[in-house]
Amino acid sequence: MVEEVSAKRKVRFLTAVWGERYVREFASLSLPSFLAPGNLPALVREVDLEVVIMTTQSSSEAFDREPAVRRLRETAPCRFIFIDDLVTNGLYGVTLTLAYARGIMDAGAAQTDTWFVFMNSDFVLADGSLRSLLPHLGVEPGAIMSASLRAKAERVVPLLDSYRCQGETILSLSSREGVRLALEHPHRTVVAKTLSQSAITSSTHNQLYWRVDDQTLLARNHLIFMLAIRPEVPLAPISSYCDYGFTPAMVPSGRIDVIDDSDTFFMLELQPSQQEAEMVSWGKADTSRIVKQLESWTTREHRLCARCDVVFHSGEVPTGLDDVRTEAKAFVDALHARMRDPLPAEHHAQWVLGVEAWRDLMERSTWQGRKNHIEPEELGAMPVAGTADKIKGGRFPTLVRYLTRFVRSQIYRVLRTGPPYPLWHLGYQARRLFRIWRESSVDPNGANTCVMWSRSDVLDGNIRSWASAVAASSGAKMFYIDELAADLLEKTFHEILVITNISGSDYIFSQAEHLLKALVNGGRLSIFIEHSQLGMSQADLARRVLDYLLDDAGDLLKYGEVETHFVGSDLLSSMSRVQKVAARTVFVDGSSSLLKSLLGIVTGAAATLFILGANLLQPATGTAQRAGASAMLVNIRTPARTSVRLDKSKAA
């Protein structure tokens, strides 16, 4: 029996999830789909399987409470690898890459004898997918790629209940049913990247789609999930994101297999409908912009994978598919013909910049009470100064960029307040709103103050850093609003500050009733809303919030005082756009002529001086609605006489 087991192919199934809320979601959706009869149970019968979950020590207790985890342990050998030293509040991609690397390196000398199967914790896996993967897990090393398809989580999650069985610990969804749900409830980013429509588009086209009919979607994927890898060589310390660098690092021969049919393997990717909303805009896709965007980050492996058609279909393959295949091939071939040479995966510019930001967050967490940060052994040495910028072109930008980073880092180390907006940035005015909030606080000592934001919000890093510094300096408590425990809301605060952006403001206002209940009489709820989407009319911010308060949350205006503050203007927003265009001319387009670069410098300098002067001379804020507001603060003070209870039946 021992000889029979040892002869089986070794497979290590890797997934990473941390945080109590995310463990619950994983155990209620993704894990039950992994436990469907045609997935892990089918795999364990044919291979020497081990399931490894990368998580934090505190999250391991949450796993123990989940029935689906108990079933997992009954199905296959399962253990944890802890990644507490990798987790921070942001830069999820860096943490996930290092977590996967730790799961691989943990195999030691057995790496080259093992198939590593990767599975993100937000994927719902169609029943039979892992069984269909078995023929691909051969004796030869290689990489297997598979594309997921995004759908709106709010619409699809309730529909998945009908596919549960055996005490809700198993979710058995066929591949065609999964595709049907995704096509009936497509995520906005999928629609925006679909070239067979011209109503909306996306600022990034890492995937390209063509709708064949109501049941069929054809995809070409520059960015595609690395589903399984058997290394030719052991994994060295990481120098790029997992979906950029794992394949060339472990399979240098370039032996890649792309699963091209959803009937064979299908992963349903559930994302909030507002995810990456800032990337979607009205209009038709512009081929030149797609070329420029793709050539700025794609590697050789990305472009190789994009040569393969991937067909998602909920019914039989239609007869018109061949025509769409021809169209897709011609389009992608034309894109590649216009692109510059692919970038090397090693020390990719996006990875270098991402690790720099990740290190800043880790260092910041050390002075907020965390143990000293030690570089993980999975992280490779960063390149010498200039490598990231040589990829983008130009030595002059390298000098400026690194001098700027050095000065900012030294200021941060002295002041310990994180990198705030500089005086010449449009966002500088947002700091005035935080100053107003602090100066008018009903809890000056901060002992009964709570600062929170939503994990799902895509907040500007400067806003998040500045708010964290303000909270830390005042002694306030900091939470994620979507992770608040019920017992926390039973406590009483004098001051609550919620930080969000325009995309998440509706959700925050919908939670205002619960937040107001956590305040003492005379307490104050403050909501800071940023509007960094400069492609939209800045007037949308004030108008959108006003419409919501009048139409959807009228009770908020019936209780206590409501006060608003605005900063920004249309002119400042326009100057900021000029500044960004000029910066791209100088720092991104390495092939620019000297004249074009000098013009970019002059134009950017003029816009910067204008913004600098406006920030110095403009009055602090306005309390009336301001056209072109780039940020606003809404203060809702509860009555001092009676507690707030927003029960509409009693509101009269």
Query: Within 10 Å of residue 175's Cβ, how many Cβ atoms?
Result: 25
- CA–CA gap between residue 350 and residue 94 (Å, rounded): 10
State the pLDDT confidence band at 585, using cuts at 50, 70 and 90.
low
Please state the pTM of the whole predicted model.
0.66
- CA–CA gap between residue 100 and residue 52 (Å, rounded): 10
171's tokens: 């979710």
What pLDDT does residue 652 have? 29
Q: Reply yes or no on whether the pLDDT at 218 is more than 90.
A: yes
Query: Within 10 Å of residue 183's Cβ, how many Cβ atoms?
Result: 20
DSSP secondary structure string, 402-449?
A: HHHHHHHHHHHHHH-S--PPPTTSGGGGHHHHHHHHHHT-S-TT-TTE
| CA within 13 Å, CB half, 203 | 8
State the pLDDT confidence band at 107, using cuts at 50, 70 and 90.
very high
What pLDDT does residue 540 have? 58
Q: Reply yes or no on whether the pLDDT at 349 is more than 90.
A: no
For the residues 576-580, what does the mean pLDDT come to?
61
Residue 635 to residues 292, 552, 629, Cα–Cα distance (Å): 43, 18, 16
What pLDDT does residue 565 have? 79
State the pLDDT confidence band at 417, using cuts at 50, 70 and 90.
very low
For the residues 99-115, what does the mean pLDDT come to?
94
Please tell me the least confidently modeled range out of 145-154, 168-177, 384-393, 518-527: 384-393
First to last CA, the chain: 76
pLDDT tens-digit profile of 505-528?
Answer: 767 777 777 777 788 888 888 888
Task: Please say whether the beta carbons of 532 and 458 come within 8 A.
Answer: no
Q: Reply yes or no on whether the pLDDT at 645 is more than 80.
A: no
Query: Within 10 Å of residue 317's Cβ, how many Cβ atoms?
Result: 15
For the residues 422-431, what does the mean pLDDT come to?
64
Q: Which residue has the higher pLDDT, 426 or 133?
A: 133
- Percent of the chain at pLDDT > 90 equals 39
What pLDDT does residue 547 have? 57
Helix (H) or strand (E) holding 467: helix 461-474
- CA–CA gap between residue 16 and residue 97 (Å, rounded): 10
What pLDDT does residue 549 have? 58
State the pLDDT confidence band at 191, using cuts at 50, 70 and 90.
confident
Q: Reply yes or no on whether the pLDDT at 371 is more than 70.
A: no
- CA–CA gap between residue 382 and residue 603 (Å, rounded): 33
Q: Which residue has the higher pLDDT, 207 or 652?
A: 207
Question: Mean pLDDT over all residues of the chain?
Answer: 78
Q: Reply yes or no on whether the pLDDT at 6 is more than 50.
A: no
For the residues 377-385, what does the mean pLDDT come to?
67
pLDDT tens-digit profile of 47-73?
Answer: 999 999 999 998 888 898 999 999 999
Q: Please work out, in degrees rounded to the nearest 5, the angle formed at the alpha carbon of residue 467 by the alpha carbons of 634 and 355.
A: 135
Q: Which residue has the higher pLDDT, 81 or 528?
A: 81
Task: Give the residue extent of every domain in the chain.
Answer: 10-338, 423-573
What pLDDT does residue 498 have? 86
545's tokens: 């919030």
Q: Which residue has the higher pLDDT, 501 or 346?
A: 346
* Most confident stretch, 111-125, 478-492, 541-555: 111-125
Q: Reply yes or no on whether the pLDDT at 587 is more than 60.
A: no
Q: Reply yes or no on whether the pLDDT at 134 is more than 90.
A: yes
For the residues 297-316, what does the mean pLDDT come to?
95
275's tokens: 């995810």
For the residues 484-498, what does the mean pLDDT come to?
68
Task: Please say whether the beta carbons of 576 and 601 come within 8 A.
Answer: no
Instruction: Output the CATH code of domain 423-573.
Output: 3.40.50.2060
pLDDT tens-digit profile of 20-52?
Answer: 889 999 999 999 999 999 999 999 999 999 999
